Amino acid sequence: MDLDFTQADHDFRMEVREFISNNFSQANASGQNIEKYHEVTSDQMKEGILDWHKTLYKKGWLAPHWPTEHGGIDWSVTQRYIWDQECANAGTTPLIPFGLTMLGPVIIAFGNDRQKDWVLKGILSGDDWWCQGYSEPGAGSDLASLRTKAEKVGDHYVVNGHKVWTTLAQYADWMFCLVRTSSEGKPQQGISFLLIDMNTPGIDVKPIITVDGGHEVNEVFLEDVKVPIENLVGEENMGWTIAKFLLGNERTGIAGVARSKKAINKLKEIANSEFNDGRPLIEDSSFNRKISELEVDLMALEYTELRTLAKESKGEGPGAESSILKIKGTEIQQKISELTLEAVGNYASPYLTPLSVRSYGSNYPEVGPDYSQGAAQNYFGMRKTSIYGGSNEIQRNIIAKMVLGL
């Protein structure tokens, strides 16, 4: 048992750090080069988000977790961890996970040769933006109760239904979608995994505006949408197996340790700049204590994640541990946003029009220090993290059942 990285790991860290500093442009990230009060078109948003993706594609570093024959790299688990850490420290634009993290591994494991060819290429090049058609109004935590129906008619499926909380579907070219192909047996047994072209007639994407004022999630209505049968992944009615495989693959970086560390550093900077009774807020013992407690909690999570990674590098797949990472990771992220809101004091209240809705019209000039911008909205928005990806209540159920045998 030791905590040290090897010299090779250290060299690797220096190499990726240099690459990031030479190639990541903060200005291009997430449309930050767009003028503060300017209207932002949907295309500009998409371009901003894809900028870093395309840089990594050129370098060949986009999909380290894929097998090399499909465009991955044979980085060790430790190297991948270092890479994630360095990206977070530099504040690089988070990569859109739907293709790279979620669908890619599914296609590699279950897709046929044709699918492996076109789907993986499109994901890597950034030409195909994927979204995830999972949740429905009546099927949230209980995903297996989904009702969107696909009926086989000739060489097509005809899909009818209603998906919800579809993240960034407004930019999507394609959707991987869970549909019901059979009502026989248990609900899990009649689900299939389909690839649907978002330009097919009968698809209607409607924005859902969230409490932070932003537009990230959508409703997707499907009415008599024709999907060629070659867009079925795996076999008919094996969608649930694929869905479970996909969720298991989502674990990389789910704890968000490196990004949380960075956010705590920012919180400390804010607490250094804000004054409380004439002294920097960071010197206030009760506030300082809250930051320290948060840091200790994050340290524990970091080593829990490292233990998981170490196990993984020996080929032992993580089981329900990933639920610990999800619960603690999101609780810490939420707590950071909560303390950041607290730190900015009175300047918590000004509303800042989020970039994602600037194309809809008016926005108000920001007021107060830069670091206070959007602090409250971020706090509101972060509430979603304990709801999405299997709510934290569901994650606790998983641990109770799978680990504790209750």
Chain positions 2 to 61 lying near other proteins, rule: CB under 8 A, are: none
| Contact call for residue 380 and other proteins (CB under 8 A) | yes
Nearer to other proteins among residue 121 and residue 396 (C-beta): 396
Interacting residue with other proteins among 11, 142, 151, 223 (CB under 8 A): 142
| Contact call for residue 367 and other proteins (CB under 8 A) | yes
Which range, of 25-33, 202-210, 240-248, 325-333, touches other proteins by CB under 8 A? 202-210
Site track for other proteins across 88-127, x = CB under 8 A: ----------------------------------------
| Contact call for residue 135 and other proteins (CB under 8 A) | yes
Helices (H), 233-320: 239-249, 257-273, 285-313
Structure-block tokens of residue 394: 């569901």
Q: How many residues bind other proteins (CB under 8 A)?
A: 50
Which residues make Cβ contacts (< 8 Å) with residue 193, sequence separation at least 6? 106, 110, 176, 177, 178, 232, 233, 234, 238, 239, 242, 243
Q: In degrees, to the nearest 5, what angle opens at C-alpha 290 toward C-alphas 288 and 293?
A: 110
Nearer to other proteins among residue 115 and residue 337 (C-beta): 337
Per the CB < 8 A criterion, the answer to whether 255 and 305 are in contact is yes
Interacting residue with other proteins among 364, 401, 402, 403 (CB under 8 A): 364
| Contact call for residue 396 and other proteins (CB under 8 A) | yes
| Contact call for residue 361 and other proteins (CB under 8 A) | no
Nearer to other proteins among residue 27 and residue 211 (C-beta): 211
| Contact call for residue 376 and other proteins (CB under 8 A) | yes
How far apart (Å, rounded) are the C-alpha atoms in residues 362 and 347? 21
Q: Within 10 A of 266 (CB to CB), how many other CB atoms are there?
A: 15
In angstroms, what is the minimal distance from the CB of 160 to other proteins?
22
**Spatial CA neighbour of 379 closest among 405, 344, 403, 329:** 344
Chain positions 242 to 301 lying near other proteins, rule: CB under 8 A, are: 274-278, 281, 284, 286-287
Q: Within 10 A of 189 (CB to CB), how many other CB atoms are there?
A: 15
Chain positions 157 to 186 lying near other proteins, rule: CB under 8 A, are: 164-165
| Contact call for residue 141 and other proteins (CB under 8 A) | yes
**Spatial CA neighbour of 3 closest among 69, 83, 78:** 78
In one-letter notation, the amino acid at residue 307 is R
**Spatial CA neighbour of 194 closest among 170, 224, 218, 229:** 229
In angstroms, what is the minimal distance from the CB of 267 to other proteins?
15
Q: How many CA atoms lie within 13 A of 126 on its CB side?
A: 17
Site track for other proteins across 320-349, x = CB under 8 A: ------------------x--xx--xxxxx
Nearer to other proteins among residue 195 and residue 343 (C-beta): 343
Angle between helices 7-23 and 42-59 (to 10 degrees): 140
Nearer to other proteins among residue 138 and residue 317 (C-beta): 138
68-104 burial: b if 16+ Cβ within 10 Å, else e: eebbbbebebbbbbbbbbbbbebebbebbbbbbbbbb
How far apart (Å, rounded) are the C-alpha atoms in residues 406 and 403? 8
Binding site for other proteins (CB under 8 A): 135, 138, 140-142, 145, 164-165, 208-211, 213, 217, 274-278, 281, 284, 286-287, 338, 341-342, 345-351, 364-365, 367-369, 376-377, 379-380, 383-384, 386-388, 391, 393, 396
